[in-house]
Amino acid sequence: MADREITIYDIAEKLDISAATVSRALQDHPAVNKKTKKRINDLAEELGYRSNKFASNLRTQKTNTLGVIVPRLNSLFMSSVIAGIEKVANSAGYNLIISQSLEQECREKANAVTMFNNRVDGLIVSLASNTEDFSHFDSFLKKQIPLIFFDRVAESIHATKVLIDNQKAGYIATKHLIEQGCQHIVHITGNVLRNVYRDRLEGYKNALAEAGFSFDEDMVMSNDLSELAIQESIETLLKRKRLPDALFISNDASAAFALSILKEKGLRVPEDMAIVGFNNDMISRVTEPAITTINYPGAEMGESIARILINHLNNDGDLSVTSKVILDTALVERGSSLRKK
């Protein structure tokens, strides 16, 4: 059985040279004779040698591995981001270890420990919705392991952040509804502890203020954006004496779901109720009417993140340049909000 792993010692022995030379040759070290190099590489190939990463990592203390912690894997936005990260990382010879917090702070903490123990060269994080304590990232900071947050970022941590201008996006979305003649705009969003939701809410308020509308607490519904929560929110709204005439909902899947409920209840969209979503997922394009939304370039964001991190890792030194990268977004106007022709 050819079950035993070939090591550099096997090669060294067969060629009657030292393991050190084999090691050097395999790394294309300049100080090794070309002919020797060739003999070594040929034999390695022939024997089916493969480098033992652990031994190598143990020596060099590098892993060529990036860690990724996200709230959930199964959303189109997240998987696009990850696809983007993977594409760039893979090309640069880095592996990805991926885990999800399932929106639980405790899982996020556990995952961070795992990543740390796995000695990832860098860590990429989007926070769970309710994470309040960030001490699980201290170990990375202390060890100067590059840390990048995206989308849902930890503002208080000194680390690179890649995100969009959520406040602006919230403002644009709301302003658009106002321009379409909506007067009672409800904002359904996630946990405002998180920057993404807080900032969108801020933008919403700004747009209202600018238009001279007063802000009403009751017009903001903050929940976990699950189908159940959306259903309840809509039902609550429809029981009010004064119906809102527009919904600005913080993700497209929820917006699409809300749309289907409204239609079921016999309301017309956008005539009775205009809708604006968020993300520009595929889903926003196929509903009837299609949903006006904010474009959120996931794949692009993923690629940016990986590029920044890997650059960092290569030119190791300028760890001080922890920056904030803001990606562009724009309103995508569709039928769900267009009341004027």
Partner DNA sequence: ATGAAAGCGCTAACAC
Partner DNA sequence: GTGTTAGCGCTTTCAT
B/e letters for 12-23, b = 16+ CB within 10 Å, e = fewer, are beebebeeebbb
- Is residue 74 part of the contact set for a copy of itself (CB under 8 A)? yes
- Is residue 2 part of the contact set for a copy of itself (CB under 8 A)? yes
Q: Cα angle vertex 310, ends 308, 314, to 5°?
A: 120
Binding window for DNA (CB under 7 A); candidates: 5-13, 66-74, 119-127, 292-300: 5-13
Report the distance separating Cα 104 and Cα 129, nearest Å. Answer: 8
Q: Which of 178, 202, 190 is nearest to 151 (CA)?
A: 190
Burial class of 77 by CB neighbour count within 10 A (0 to 12, 13 to 18, 19+): buried
Phi, psi of 86 (to 5 degrees): -60, -45
Binding window for a copy of itself (CB under 8 A); candidates: 29-37, 53-61, 145-153, 319-327: 53-61
Selected from 11, 82, 124, 294, the binder of a copy of itself by CB under 8 A is 82
Return the amino acid letter for 282: M
Selected from 38, 53, 265, 268, the binder of a copy of itself by CB under 8 A is 53
Selected from 42, 55, 91, 231, the binder of DNA by CB under 7 A is 55
Using CB under 7 A as the binding rule, the residues of this chain from 61 to 120 that contact DNA are 61
- Is residue 56 part of the contact set for DNA (CB under 7 A)? yes
- Is residue 133 part of the contact set for a copy of itself (CB under 8 A)? no
Q: Which of 140, 122, 129, 145 is nearest to 305 (CA)?
A: 122
- Is residue 26 part of the contact set for DNA (CB under 7 A)? yes
- Is residue 276 part of the contact set for a copy of itself (CB under 8 A)? no
CB closer to DNA out of 30 and 212: 30
Tell me if 195 sits within 8 A of 152, measured CB to CB: yes
Which positions lie near DNA, rule CB under 7 A?
5, 7-9, 16-21, 23-24, 26-27, 31-33, 36, 49, 51-52, 55-56, 58-61
